[in-house]
Structure 1
Amino acid sequence: MKQWKRVLLSLTISAGLLASAVPAMAAPQGTAVKVDNQAVKYTAGAPIVEKGTTLVPLRTTLDALDAKLASTTDDSITAIVNGKTITLKSKLVRINGVTYAPIRIVGDAAGYEVRWDKATRTVLLVSKGGATETAQTGGRGFMWEVQNNGNTVYLVGSMHIADKSFYPLRPEFEEAFAEADYLGVEIDLSKAADEEQQKLVLSLGSYQDGTTLKDHVSSETYSKLGDILKKKGLEPNALDAFKPWVVETTLASLKSTAVGLEASSGVDLYFIQKAIERKIPVIELESYQSQLGMFNDFSKELQEKTLRSTIDNFDVLDNTVNQMAEMWKTGNDKQLLELTNTFSTDEEYNKAMLVDRNIGMADKIDGYLKTGKGEEYFIVVGAAHYLGDHGIVKLLEDKGYKVERK
């Protein structure tokens, strides 16, 4: 299998880069809300996204859902839906005199399925049972279960980039998460836009010594990159400030976005948003520093080789993105293992991307299983971390645990 396929597979492994390291190419659009395809008109305030959660003006949204607001406290909402009084547990936010609440909690409680249309940046509230497609699941995905001394850990393989066709997830995912005491992820993507993280990206991913990308890659690589950027309507020197590993990720992101897959719809961010709404702790198995530092520490030769592979195969990357999406939806272990094994063609790349990180994550999961507190952990990391001789499943089995595919 060609080396360049590792580039897109890495997007299913390293969440941090896709969400925070890729330079912004355009100003973000506002967020809209539709109820059964009817746009909600907000006259006081507008929907906002805060730390990965979409907040909406409460009263206007309830009116659009044919629900009436009865009362509110600092952390709950009482509303009347279809003649029934319901209480929603959610922290409310006051902005310029307008009360805001998480759209997912409000929509779920009112009997709507909540979806995200990344192309139009629209939250879609669809009446449950109102369309046949709502009864179908987006895919099988990857999930394993491990138990020890009263503790349960669910291991979920994420696609960090996805679209609405991945949802709704099959019931086993939602049921396991509903009972979880903790959500574990590689890094908390809801913090990606924080000033601290952005400073870290710039300090590690851009040149600080007065040089530019042109000074660090061959003239042929730089010229071919310029051709691609021009075709995308950008200046050929648009990425000059950034190191090869950031440029490579940017190109892969352009391709994944072109076929409709984005980090905003990724499986890990989906559960991070739900954890924030449920107010359960989000624990990080890694950190922004460790993920970005790993890429930054790649040798100069490896950085250019990987960038060049992406450039040379740019026109066919979208096919591989779609293949990976299908792999996730069908839960095809064989295909996942084949893709994971492509990392082994380069010792430096494989050791950093998989071997060392898998050991660290497996050790943390081992610790969760040994607390003896009767707790449940829902762990969501890139799917390619689980299988193979150096995968998390094998590492846990080597520690004596029984790992069951769900």
Structure 2
Amino acid sequence: MLRRLIIVFFVFLSWQPAEAAERGALFRLSAHGHTMFLFGTMHVGLPSFYPLEPQLAAAVESASVLALELDPQPSFAKVAAALNRYGKLAPGAAGYVQLGPRKLTRIDEMARAAGLDPATAHSYKPVLLATLLSLAEYEKQGYRASLSTDRELARMARARGVRIVELESLEGQLAMLDSLPVPSQWRFLEDCLNSISSGAQANEVRTVVGAWGRADQAGLEAMAQRMQLDNSVGGKFTREVLLDGRNGTLADKIDTLLKETDKAVSAIGVLHLLGPRSVPELLRARGVGVERVY
């Protein structure tokens, strides 16, 4: 996915084992006679992100249920069906050739550098291609989707027999990516290519990863404030659709889970926990007790 217009990235940290430390953002929710931990995750990771700090680890291992945006181990058939429906250009649709030879050459070069066959890349809708190119950049900088905190939480839950539920669906997430008007999708791809080429993504990620790795509340909130001021195509899409457009539904489902079960753990991308229209603020507005642990 275009994880909140590429919200995590770059800065290669030490590969030495780290001590368990506070990372990300952790909230304790209380309502309906129940409590729940709500954690802000990173969708890529490094070995040095682990082990998770003891309070969160203990909560997951003894949880009644673990709620994630998506199960990090979907079936191949499910992924293929969703990609074919929402991620591929329709036969006869105006494709990459319309961009002209200079832009097409640039896209093909970046696709090859990302390990993608250009012919295959040309079959993807531009926002999906932007996502794949950005994820490839993560890999180049040392980050691994296989080491995301979502996957680690799921691994811990499965090891203890904790049930895992999805707060969203893969189809829904891909459909959101496809909701941008077609002309804006091409602009989105161009903005992404420019951001990768200029190193702007890498610079932003230094701040993101540093703040997440230290559970730096002020640093994370400062990043959220910068996003509020970004009126580029990608910035507005990230803010209005990928964040604000999902936060209400995420808050609804987390509140429902809080009504149904005690001692659950929910874990969603950390950007959903920041700013005035964040999931914690939406929950607080409906009367849920929200305590920031770190």
| Band of TM-score, shorter chain | 0.7 to 0.9
- Give the match for residue 50 of structure 2: 167
Residues 1:378 and 2:265 are matched in the alignment: yes
Cα contact 2:18–2:48 (8 A) shared by 1: no
Structure of higher CA gyration radius: 1
Mapping 1:278-293, distance limit 5 Å: 278-293=160-175
Of residues 220, 234, 254, the one that matches 1:365 is: 254
Does residue 404 in structure 1 map to residue 291 in structure 2?
Answer: yes
In structure 1, C-alpha distance between the alignment counterparts of 2:138 and 2:239, rounded to whole Å? 23
* Amino acid in the other structure paired with 2:283: L
2:5 and 2:238 in contact (8 A); partners too: no
Q: 1:249-285 deviations in whole A, cap 9, x for unaligned?
A: 1111111001111111001111112222222211111
Distance 2:241 2:204 in 1: 23
How far does the alpha carbon of each residue in 1:162-186 deviate from its partner, in whole angstroms, 9 at most, with x for none? 0101001111111221221000011
- Distance apart, 1:318 and its partner CA: 3.3
Unaligned runs of 5+ in 1: 13-118, 120-132
Instruction: Confirm or deny: 8 A CA contact 1:139 1:167 kept in the other structure.
Output: no
Q: 1:306 to 1:326 in 2, by over 3 A?
A: same
TM-score when normalising by structure 2: 0.85
Which of residues 71, 82, 90 in structure 2 aligns to 1:208? 90
Task: State the Cα deviation string for residues 105-125 of structure 1 (Å, max 9, x = none).
Answer: xxxxxxxxxxxxxx9xxxxxx
Work out the CA distance in 1 between the residues paired with 2:101 and 2:138.
27
Partner residue, 2:138: 256
Aligned length: 279
| Alignment match, 1:310 | 192
Alpha-carbon distance in structure 1 between the residues aligned to 2:184 and 2:227? 13
Identity %: 25
Contact 2:97–2:104, Cα closer than 8 Å, also in 1: no
1:334-385: CA deviation from partner (whole Å, max 9, x where unpaired): 23223334544254442211112100011112222333x5x11100100000
Correspondence 1:266 to 2:166: no
**Residues 234 and 284 (structure 1), Cα distance of their counterparts in 2 relative to 1, 3 Å cut:** closer
* Pairing 1:137–2:41 present: no
Runs (5+) with no aligned partner, structure 2: 10-14
CA contact (8 A) 1:188 1:282 kept: yes
Tell me which protein shows more strand as a share of its residues. Answer: 1
Matches within 5 A, 1:42-121: none
Larger helix share, 1 or 2: 2
- Residue 236 (structure 1) shift: 4.5
Kindly provide the CA deviation profile for residues 296-328 of structure 1, in whole angstroms up to 9, marking residues without a partner as x. Answer: 111113222221112112231334334322221
Per the alignment, do residues 6 and 267 of structure 1 end up closer, same or farther by CA in structure 2, a change over 3 Å counting? closer
Q: Report the TM-score when normalising by structure 1.
A: 0.63
> Is the Cα contact below 8 Å between 2:61 and 2:162 reproduced in 1?
no
- Paired AA for residue 240 in structure 2: K
Does 1:336 pair with 2:220? yes
Please tell me whether the aligned partners of residues 27 and 39 of structure 2 are also in contact (alpha carbons under 8 angstroms): yes
Task: Please state how far the C-alpha of 1:144 moved relative to its aligned partner.
Answer: 0.5
The question of whether the paired residues in 2 share the 8 Å contact of 1:256 and 1:321 is answered with no
Q: Distance in 1 between matches of 2:60 and 2:167?
A: 18
SS at 2:165 equivalent: strand
Amino acid at match of 1:245: V
Q: Classify 1:219/1:179 alpha carbon distance in 2 versus 1 (closer, same or farther; 3 Å).
A: same
Displacement after TM superposition at 1:150 (Å): 3.0
RMSD over aligned CA atoms reads 2.6
**Counterpart residue identity of residue 213, structure 2:** K
Residue 5 of structure 2 is matched in structure 1 by 7
Higher normalized contact order (CA 8 Å, seq sep 6+, divided by chain length): 2
Q: How far is 1:393 from its partner?
A: 1.1
